[in-house]
Amino acid sequence: MERLRWVALVLFLLVYGWCVLLPAASASTGGFAGYYTSAWILARYPDELARVYEDAWFVERLEETGIEGVYDIFFIHPPTMTLLLLPLTAFPPATARVIWTGVNLALLVGGLLLLARALRLSWQWGLWLTPFALLYTPVIENFRYGQGYLLLFCLICLLLWAHLTGRRTAAGLVLGQMLLLKTAALWLWPLFLLSKQWRLLVVALLVAGGAVGALLPLFGLEPWQRYALLLPQLGTLSQRYVTAYQTVTSLLGHLFIYDEQWNPTPVIHLPLLARLLTLAVQFGTLFFSWRWARLEESRHEVRVLTLALFLSLVVANGPLGEQHHYAMVLPALLIALWWARHHRVAGPGWAWLLLSALLLGAPLPFKALQLQAGLWALLAYPRVYGAFLLWGWVGWQVTKSQKSKVQKT
């Protein structure tokens, strides 16, 4: 039986490689084009790095790299993101894309192995989860567009392992590195702050601040000044309201904020209501996450659940979050499935969790034009609903475990 399982795993990987990885490795898409071009600019035009935020200039450099038929911009990313593919600029774009696809696969498997060790399971558990993870649509999207969120997935798994094994300094190092690469996991910072994870946060700030200072001779000050000026736009951009962005901000903005270009058919134009509801949801979930959190609990499994609770809304409560961002929620989903199996959760609990998994990971047509207008847009945010279902399920399990502990004592 064990041999058959290994044969099945190898066959699955071969089919997946043929159907997903090979097309991804040879594709020319946005995502990878932006990463590669920004690193290429750092390698060849370091004195002009601040101009990566000028869209027209960036597109000209993209064409100069030899990438054809693709439009991409640097958008509002920290200057340090230009380091992501810097080693790959030694290769032409096509070769670099092949290498990056292989690196992404290694990051996914490496993250699963780290997660297995964080849960005190054998490394084989991580391998057996690989097919499930590879079929998770946000993971497929990362391969398809050459995105960088499998690196963040791996870093999150490393953060979980470090935190759960008592290595708070190492966890802070990882959190600081994540901040340098992307601002995508900012939701974790207030949760760690409210949970009084002082050492973790201090180390993370020192790592991020120290890296920025150390890189000033390479980057200069101007790119950081440009970035600081653009950063507030993450809270004002009207394009946040298109259904490609699977966040609470996008959902409520799509329903209640009119914009001639980006959202011409809301239910009604009530921008103040949209903003108040968004803040209410974000602060409400922040409050309950803090109240339910048990990071100092002696039981390892409850601390695991608490970290899954924090991760569940890391994308949905962010300012921007596309489908591929939800690779960062995969560790929380896997932890929930582990808990459900380990604690023999009853049928209704399994139904709740599986619905969350389907909404988070199934290939759903939420960008369809039919779902853009009026109340139909309520059907266009499955990833948001899946994330909140997962958050509610994990919170329920944390509170149940706490009640059972009280009853035993």
- Of the chain, the end-to-end C-alpha distance in Å amounts to 43
- Count CB-CB contacts under 10 A for residue 277: 17
Question: Domain spans of the chain?
Answer: 241-362+370-402
Residue type, 103: V
| Integer Cα distance of 125 and 141 in angstroms | 24
Mean pLDDT by 10 residues, the chain (409 residues): 80 91 92 95 93 94 91 91 95 96 97 96 89 96 96 97 94 94 87 93 95 92 93 87 95 95 94 96 96 87 94 94 96 96 88 97 93 93 98 93 61
User: Considering only CA atoms, which of 329, 333, 330 is closest in space to residue 314?
Assistant: 329
Q: What is the pLDDT of residue 25?
A: 93
Q: What is the pLDDT of residue 405?
A: 60
Q: What is the pLDDT of residue 182?
A: 83
| Integer Cα distance of 237 and 379 in angstroms | 23
Are residues 172 and 200 in contact, defined by beta-carbon separation less than 8 angstroms?
yes
Q: 174: left (phi > 0), else alpha (psi -120 to 50), else beta?
A: alpha
Length of the chain counted residue by residue: 409
Q: What is the pLDDT of residue 6?
A: 82
Q: What is the pLDDT of residue 407?
A: 54
Q: What is the pLDDT of residue 124?
A: 86
